[in-house]
Chain A
Amino acid sequence: MNADKLCSAIKALPLKEEVCLMEVCGTHTMAIAKSGIKSMLPEKVKLLSGPGCPVCVTPASEIDAILELSMRPDVILATYGDMVRVPGSVPGDNLARRRALGAQVQVVYSPVDAVELAKQNPEKEVVFLGVGFETTAPGTAAAALTASDKGVKNFTVFSMLKTVEPALRALMAMDDFRVQGFLCPGHVATIIGEKGFAFLPEKYRMPAVIAGFEAEDILAAIWRLLTQLINREPKLENEYKRAVSEPGNLLAQKMMTACFTAETTEWRGLGSIPKSGLKFRPEFSALDAEKRFPEVLGEEARRIQKSARITPACRCGDVITGRISPAQCPLFGKRCLPEDPVGPCMVSSEGACAAAYKYMDIDSFEENG
């Protein structure tokens, strides 16, 4: 079954009204933009990007705290690459700029590399910026526990890790939420299993399909979502059986729950969501950067910063909740460009604005005028 055939099958569906579907995974955002799927779909089918790009959902207050921490001469920040250019609440201020001012910021591929960095720099404090969802949380936990087992005392994690379910629930609780089906993230599902998304049809009568990352996977998932809608039969289907089982990866789940508890945390665009943030259990507080640097990263410190910050005109919050498409942000492609991003959605290659810009999503330019 190739993409053309799937597209004809989608076009043949008897759709009466416009349908909005949402993908909640940065890798899907990129795959959809790259393959030009949006332009292949009938006009009535709209695809929106949800809160699936890890740096995009990180609130400005946390970025501000990280920027402040980066200026300490005894601290080395270890981070995934896309975090380096995410601005805080002051436009243009990011880790790249702080690095030019003397901050020590090291890009790593994995939290394991960050632990190595700590071993090599015993006189410094290495803080790993832990962003991501269930896909990255188990590895972050495992790396942190290795550090503690091996007696690496100068390693901590600033956990901004989040879980997908509470965010989807918060989205669906919004008054103006217009999405009628979810393309569920394949790699998160690899960890939490099919069962992790069963709440969508069961509690919300929301069609849901777990999808892989090839254009064909995504189109097949769209066909299934639309068919569910037409038949008024919301259910959970798994289009990514090669990597996703019913129970998910139990070893990874065990590691995650052993290390973290679910606490209230702030999301860009969605505000504070109960039990959506993965924070270290008290017995692992020695690994917790919030405990090691409470004056900068502690909740109280961030609250004060938040009240003092200016809100830039970036509408990432509206983009990742499906309220607007990237091109509807007045700054898109004008003041905000991948070379000089105003918000996180334009920084990360997984961000909806960057993907829309890079692959010249025709829709976007039309809407932008």
Chain B
Amino acid sequence: MGMRRKIRIDFIENPRVGDYVIVHAGFAIERLPEKQALEDLESWEELEEAIYQEYGMQAARTE
């Protein structure tokens, strides 16, 4: 599955096996830690809340 490719990790501090990274033209440009993924979920919730508060939109709520 997927694709295997050699990439350079010059720009990743303390890289570890198993890290997820964003790759651009052969270089890893950022690590995607799990914590950030969670924060992102939170930011979606925060967005829903913002939309709801702003206009009381039922549609924006997750059922």
Contacts and interface: CB of A to CB of B under 8 A. Distances in A.
Interface stretch (A131-139, A301-309, A324-332): A131-139
A110 B28 CA distance: 12
B25 A111 contact: yes
A252 B55 CA distance: 41
A190 B25 CA distance: 14
A310 interface: no
A243 B48 CA distance: 21
A183 interface: no
A362 interface: no
A1, A80, A242 interface centre (most CB from chain B within 10 Å): A242
Contact of B10 (A9, A224, A227, A251): A251
Contact of A135 (B12, B29, B32, B37): B29
Given A239-B43, A242-B36, A251-B13, A139 B27 contact: yes
Contacts of B55: 9, 12-13
A1 B60 contact: yes
A81 B23 CA distance: 17
Interface residues of A, number: 36
Given A1-B62, A111-B26, A227-B54, A241 B11 contact: no
A112 interface: yes
A223 interface: yes
B26 A220 contact: no
Interface of A: 1, 5-6, 8-9, 12-13, 80, 109-113, 132, 135-136, 138-139, 142-143, 187, 190-191, 220, 223-224, 227, 239, 241-244, 249, 251-252, 255
Given A6-B60, A8-B60, 5 more contacts: A1-B62, A9-B51, A135-B29, A224-B47, A242-B32
